[in-house]
Amino acid sequence: MGNDKYNLFVKHDYYFIQKMTQKRNSNIEMLRLVSMLAIVMHHFVAHNIDSLDTVNGSSRIILDFANILFGKIAVCIFLIITVWFLSDRSQTIQSTLHRMQVLEREVLFYSISCYLIYSFILDTFWPKMFITRFFPVITGEWWFVCAYMLLIFLLPFLCTGLKALNELEHRILTLVLLSFFGLIQFFPYIYDSALSDFSNVMGVVIITVATCYCRWYKDIITPPRKMYKLSLLPIASGLLLMISYIANMANIQPFNSMLERLWLHLQDYYSLPVIIISLSVVIALTEATPHFWPPINRFAASSLAIYLITDTPEAQKILWERLFPLHLMNNTPIPIITMLLISVVICIVCIGIDQIRSKLFHIIFD
pLDDT, position 277: 92
Tens of pLDDT, residues 18-29: 333 347 889 999
pLDDT, position 254: 64
Query: Which is more confident, 216 or 12?
Result: 216
Given a cut of 50, is residue 11 above it in pLDDT?
Answer: no
Query: Which is more confident, 321 or 265?
Result: 321
Given a cut of 80, is residue 287 above it in pLDDT?
Answer: yes
> Mean of the pLDDT values across residues 259-280?
81
pLDDT, position 17: 34
CA distance 265 to 362: 42
- Average pLDDT in the chain: 83
Among 139-148, 188-197, 223-232, where is mean pLDDT lowest?
A: 188-197
pLDDT, position 20: 32
CA distance 172 to 174: 5
> Mean of the pLDDT values across residues 111-128?
93
Orientation angle between helical segments 167-184 and 199-216, nearest 10 degrees: 150
pLDDT, position 94: 86
Query: Which is more confident, 191 or 246?
Result: 246
Given a cut of 70, is residue 38 above it in pLDDT?
Answer: yes
Given a cut of 60, is residue 188 above it in pLDDT?
Answer: no
Spell out the alpha helix ranges (H) of the chain: 26-46, 58-62, 68-86, 93-122, 127-132, 143-163, 167-184, 188-190, 199-216, 218-221, 227-250, 256-266, 272-287, 294-300, 303-310, 313-317, 335-365
- pTM of the predicted structure, to 2 decimals: 0.85
pLDDT, position 252: 67
pLDDT, position 15: 37
**Domains of the chain: which residue ranges?**
5-365
Q: DSSP 3-state assignment of 5?
A: strand
Given a cut of 70, is residue 325 above it in pLDDT?
Answer: yes
Among 122-131, 229-238, 287-296, where is mean pLDDT lowest?
A: 229-238
CA distance 296 to 274: 26
Given a cut of 70, is residue 61 above it in pLDDT?
Answer: yes
CB neighbours of 365 closer than 8 A, spacing ≥ 6?
Answer: 105
Given a cut of 50, is residue 115 above it in pLDDT?
Answer: yes
Tens of pLDDT, residues 205-246: 899 999 999 999 988 876 666 666 677 888 888 888 888 778
Amino acid at 183: L
